[in-house]
Amino acid sequence: MTEERAQARECSDASVIRGSGIGECAEAHGRYEVECFGADGKLKWRDTIANTVATVGKNLALDSFLAGAAYTVTGPYMGLISSTSYTATAAGDTMASHSGWLEAGGANAPTYSGNRKTAVWSAAASGSKALSAALSFAITGTGTVKGAFLVFGSGASATKDNTSGTLWSAGTFSTGDKAVVNGDTLNLNYSTSL
């Protein structure tokens, strides 16, 4: 007689599938909107600038938002970028060191009357903050504008070509350089969001 034997075994397997967590990301983005009016008051062109938010600007904002006990902003001041010797804007740029671009208005064309313009803001809403009104640059000398920048923080100055303060953003026109002549007016708006 032959005996058959079978070993009894039982196996079970289980797995849990679940989400790995909740994440949220905040990135700083900004956008300049620019209009150029001729001496006759007629619109000559309109363009936008999607800017690079500088690392030093992000750091100052984070330190101020999350660790500042009492903080009063200096500026921000808006300036123009000249096409003279331009190569690039970069996240690593600072006001003291931005080898890829030069400021327009003082030593570099085109020139404009007065100082850098002081930004005045509307209240933030929906994670965004915008200027309460466009900043006007009255062009006094022919040249080519490449873009714009914002500087703020300790040491920031409205004086053209000043290298103090913290660079918040810099960027160039989406459709290329813009030639301007004496008598033109550039109106720049800016908004930023997190």
Give me the pLDDT at residue 89, please: 95
Give me the pLDDT at residue 12, please: 60
Q: Which stretches of the chain score pLDDT less than 70?
A: 1-26, 69-70
Segment 37-52, tens digit of pLDDT = 999 999 999 999 998 8
Give me the pLDDT at residue 27, please: 78
Give me the pLDDT at residue 20, please: 59
With beta carbons less than 8 A apart as the criterion, state whether 95 and 74 touch. Answer: no
Q: In whole angstroms, what is the distance from residue 183 CA to residue 168 CA?
A: 29
Segment 145-167, tens digit of pLDDT = 999 999 999 999 999 999 999 99
Torsion angle of the four alpha carbons 113, 118, 122, 124, in this order, in degrees rounded to the nearest 10: 130
The pTM of the full predicted model, rounded to 2 decimals, is 0.84
Going from N- to C-terminal start, the domains of the chain cover: 29-125+144-193
